[in-house]
């Protein structure tokens, strides 16, 4: 599915919106998805942090495990989880507001742009981008310490036995994805520049806000 295509509303407006957004993000970062060094990290963001699927089990794990994690995790990993939870909450608020504006209309570039402007909240959109960048920076710092990877592997069986398996898997996927990158700087620059440019274009009411988003070309 491409962002230019309308999404048939066959389930909830919120899910259809998220499916469209996932396709838009895959188009915007198509160049990085074809980069062997970046692909795993980009996929982690597209699925674990801003994908169309709910992660109810993982979020419940985090809420239940917080008192334990706050005493045992290194500060960088704890900050990562805090920001991931904030991003999840903020994204849910914005997506629900967007879905209300879209109602039963198919999601297209035009209807999405109109709903985006109607919802407003530019400060929340800026915070959303800041959180994505902060989470990536946290992961880049964490993976530099080999002992964190060893600690995660050691915690796998106990975490699953204690009922925190979804949260454990989330941490392991993020660690593995960023471990393969030599330098996350290029990916972070691309995310910051493209998402900030798109948000500004949507708020201005540009006639073609999605143009030139992926590697300097408009999505098909």
List for the chain the helix, strand, coil content (%; round to 5): 70, 0, 25
pLDDT digit of tens for each residue in the chain (220 aa)?
A: 334 333 333 458 888 898 899 889 989 999 999 988 888 888 888 887 766 565 555 556 566 666 666 665 666 667 777 787 788 889 889 999 999 999 878 999 999 999 999 999 999 999 999 998 988 888 777 777 666 666 667 667 666 666 666 667 777 777 777 777 777 788 889 999 999 999 999 999 998 898 866 444 434 3
Cβ neighbours of residue 97 closer than 8 Å, sequence gap 6 or more = 119, 121
Instruction: State the pLDDT at residue 111.
Output: 94
> Could you please report the per-residue DSSP string of 25-76?
HHHHTHHHHT-TTTHHHHHHIIIIIT-SS--HHHHHHHHHHHHHHHHHS-HH
Domain ranges of the chain: 13-204
pTM: 0.76
């Amino acid at each position: 599915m491409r962002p230019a295509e309308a999404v048939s509303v066959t389930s909830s407006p919120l899910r259809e919106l998220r499916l469209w957004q996932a396709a838009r993000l895959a188009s915007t970062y198509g160049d990085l998805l074809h980069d062997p060094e970046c692909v795993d990290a980009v996929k982690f963001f597209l699925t674990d942090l801003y994908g169309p699927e709910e992660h109810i089990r993982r979020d419940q794990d985090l809420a239940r495990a917080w008192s334990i994690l706050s005493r045992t995790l290194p500060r960088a990993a704890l900050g990562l989880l805090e920001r991931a939870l904030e991003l999840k909450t903020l994204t849910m608020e914005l997506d629900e507001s967007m879905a209300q504006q879209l109602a039963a209309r198919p999601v297209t570039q035009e209807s999405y742009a109109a709903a985006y402007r109607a919802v407003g909240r530019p400060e929340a959109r800026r915070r959303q981008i800041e959180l994505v960048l902060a989470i990536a920076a946290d992961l880049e710092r964490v993976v530099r310490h080999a002992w964190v990877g060893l600690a995660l592997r050691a915690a796998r069986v106990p975490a699953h036995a204690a009922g925190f398996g979804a949260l454990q898997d989330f941490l392991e996927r993020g660690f593995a994805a960023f471990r393969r990158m030599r330098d996350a700087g290029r990916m972070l620059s691309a995310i910051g520049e493209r998402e900030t440019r798109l948000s500004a274009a949507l708020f201005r009411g540009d006639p073609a806000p999605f143009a030139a988003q992926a590697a300097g070309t408009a999505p098909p």
